[in-house]
Amino acid sequence: MNKVRTIDTHTHILTMETAALLSKAAPKVPVTITPTDAESAVLDVGGTVYRPFPTGGFDIACRLRDMDATGVDVHVLSVTPQTYLYNQEPTLAAVLSAIQNDQLAKHIAAHPDRFMGIATLPMQDPVRAADELKRAMTKLGLKGTMFASNIMGKNLDDPSFEPLWATAEELNAFLFIHPNNVAGADRLRSYYLQNLI
Q: What pLDDT was estimated at residue 3?
A: 79
141 touches 47 (CB < 8 A): no
Write out pLDDT tens, residues 122-160: 999 999 999 999 999 999 999 999 999 889 888 899 999
Instruction: Report the candidate in 73, 33, 70, 75 with the shortest Cα–Cα distance to residue 55.
Output: 33
The packing angle between helices 90-110 and 126-138, to 10°, is: 20
The whole-angstrom separation of Cα 38 and Cα 61 is 13
Write out pLDDT tens, residues 61-116: 999 999 999 999 999 999 999 999 999 999 999 999 999 999 999 999 999 999 99
The answer to whether residue 197 scores a pLDDT higher than 80 is no
Average pLDDT for residues 41-60, to the nearest whole number?
Answer: 96
CA dihedral 110, 33, 35, 149 (to 10 degrees): -80
The whole-angstrom separation of Cα 101 and Cα 118 is 8
